[in-house]
Amino acid sequence: MELDSNRLKLQEITESGIEQIHELNSYPEVDEYNTLGIPENMEVTEKLVRSIIEEQKAESRWSYDWKIIRKDSGEFIGIAGITLSANRFKLGEIYYDLLPSQWGQGFATEVAKTLIKAGFDGFHIHKVEAGVATENIRSIRVLEKSGMTREGLRRKILPIRGEWKDNYHYAIVEDDSRDY
């Protein structure tokens, strides 16, 4: 499954992307609010990517992960995904991580909007959600520019570098107004 936006292509992750994903996850700036932590070595990333590829083969998939590619250059700039809930709840939770060199150009907002649109139009879910560390101002702006609403605070839920951090819960439902 491939997704498309104005400037970006989201292609399902394959083994050929392991080195790029490892590099992305090794940036301290990317790791700042990430619960996975910087991978100790390439084997950790290989294991993560293999589990993503195994999920792609599942008969009833619940998780989709993409590499983000710039259309103008063909350059890898990050990863994104959506995790679906049990069918009766019709929820999906999105995430995105971009290379720091790509920050501030509107790519994260474009990715978030693409994931939200895919959630409603492609996966036919009722609600798209995202969690964000309360200190992650950049990502909070992305979610709000994407039309999501802050619905609440989850206290001390994110294990980040040995500390428990608070998390804002954002969401958008299928009948909320949006311009995309």
pLDDT tens column, 86-139: 888 999 999 999 999 999 999 999 999 999 999 999 999 999 999 999 999 999
Q: What is the model's pTM? A: 0.96
Q: Strands 127-133 and 91-98, how do they pair?
A: parallel
> Is the pLDDT confidence value at 80 over 90?
yes
Instruction: Show the beta-strand stretches assigned E in 32-102.
Output: 63-70, 76-84, 91-98
% of the chain beyond a pLDDT of 90? 96
Distance CA 50, CA 46 (A): 6
Distance CA 105, CA 8 (A): 12
Q: Of all helices (H) and strands (E), which one includes residue 174?
A: none
Average pLDDT score over residue span 159-173: 97
Domains and CATH numbers, the chain: 3-130 (3.40.630.30)
pLDDT at 87: 83
- Tokens 């949006």 correspond to 178
Token pair for residue 88? 């009766």
pLDDT at 88: 87
> Is the pLDDT confidence value at 148 over 90?
yes
Q: Are 69 and 8 in contact (CB under 8 A)?
A: yes
Distance CA 125, CA 180 (A): 16
